[in-house]
Amino acid sequence: MNLAQHLIYYLLHQIKGQKAANVRLPLPSSIFNREPIAHTADSNIYQRWEQLRSSMLQDRTTIEVTDYGAGERATGHRTIASIARKSSQKSRFNALQYHLIRHTAPTTLLEMGTSFGLTTALFAMAAPNARIITMEGCPNTASKARETFRHLELNNIEMVVGPFDTHLDQVLKTLGKLDYVYFDGNHRMAPTLNYFLRACSSAHAESVFVFDDIRWSKQMYEAWLEINKHPSIRLSLDLYAIGVLTFNPEHPVRRKVIRY
């Protein structure tokens, strides 16, 4: 998507959007206040996380990357810094997910798209007693993520390496139910819809699904709009870069655009 298209999407979002404080939601307002994670996370591990992230953002080492998420399988060489920069969410979205996980207290958490494991590590900090399975297509990227988890001494993360299509059904069977899912491993419409529908089979009333990069491309935004038509969804929050879904059938159907 070119810059002009992004600008149009952004302006439309600003026009349609409401401030979170002005919207009645079945979620605490504290998840939107951008409170620094450092104020609530274990200070020692979070400091080490920040140091590790800073180190990656300056690391010009090149690795071979296998990419399944933007089309057919492709390989190429990229620097650790460029991957870390692209895969790391903006701090406010890191904070939102961290506080959302702390609030919902999931016991099972699935991440589709590990990259170097920085976001996975935040999830593990927010839910230290949860069973976390993270999926990554690229073996070299997954190896770097394992280093992240070892460095931060995070022991509640399991990694599955390889194409999502090959492994997702077994992962869903292993977890049994999905309390929290983060979709961040494919940016095409058909696979995104496919993974969502397969994950729905393990969703329940208290499940939370989060989609990253919902305006990364026209396909991703079309996928997001199509997903919102699913009858099981009760609350949809469009925060421009990410989308949040909940499923409690006791709640009324609401589709909200939030300026965040």
Q: Confidence band (pLDDT; 50, 70, 90) for 73?
A: low
Per-residue pLDDT at 40 exceeds 90: no
Per-residue pLDDT at 220 exceeds 60: yes
Residue of 127, 130, 133 whose CA lies nearest to 174: 133
Averaged pLDDT for residues 228-248: 97
pLDDT score at 259 = 93
Residue ranges in the chain assigned as alpha helix (H): 3-16, 43-57, 80-87, 91-104, 118-126, 139-151, 164-175, 189-200, 218-227
Asked if 155 and 172 count as a contact pair (C-beta separation under 8 A), the reply is no
Q: Among the listed ranges 54-68, 77-91, 130-144, 206-220, which one has the minimum average pLDDT value?
A: 77-91
Q: Confidence band (pLDDT; 50, 70, 90) for 4?
A: confident
Q: Model confidence over 83-125: pLDDT tens digits?
A: 888 776 678 899 999 999 999 999 999 999 999 999 999 999 9
pLDDT score at 148 = 97
pLDDT score at 230 = 97
Cα–Cα distance, 232 to 222 (Å, whole number): 18
pLDDT score at 29 = 87
| Structural domains of the chain, ranges and CATH numbers in brackets | 3-46+89-259 (3.40.50.150)
At 14, phi and psi to the nearest 5? -65, -35
Q: Which residue has the higher pLDDT, 28 or 35?
A: 28
Per-residue pLDDT at 62 exceeds 70: yes
Residue of 213, 217, 223, 212 whose CA lies nearest to 189: 223
Q: Which residue has the higher pLDDT, 158 or 37?
A: 158
Averaged pLDDT for residues 137-159: 96
pLDDT score at 194 = 97
Asked if 218 and 248 count as a contact pair (C-beta separation under 8 A), the reply is no
pLDDT score at 70 = 52
Residue of 164, 171, 155, 158 whose CA lies nearest to 67: 164
Tokens of 225: 């709009």
Averaged pLDDT for residues 41-55: 93
- With a pLDDT cut of 90, the percent of the chain lying above it is 77
Averaged pLDDT for residues 176-195: 94
pLDDT score at 151 = 96
The 208-212 sheet, strands edge to edge: 18-19, 254-259, 235-238, 242-246, 208-212, 180-183, 108-112, 131-136, 157-161
Averaged confidence pLDDT in the chain? 92
Asked if 192 and 70 count as a contact pair (C-beta separation under 8 A), the reply is no
pLDDT score at 74 = 63
Tokens of 122: 């935040």
Cα–Cα distance, 161 to 135 (Å, whole number): 6
Per-residue pLDDT at 35 exceeds 90: no
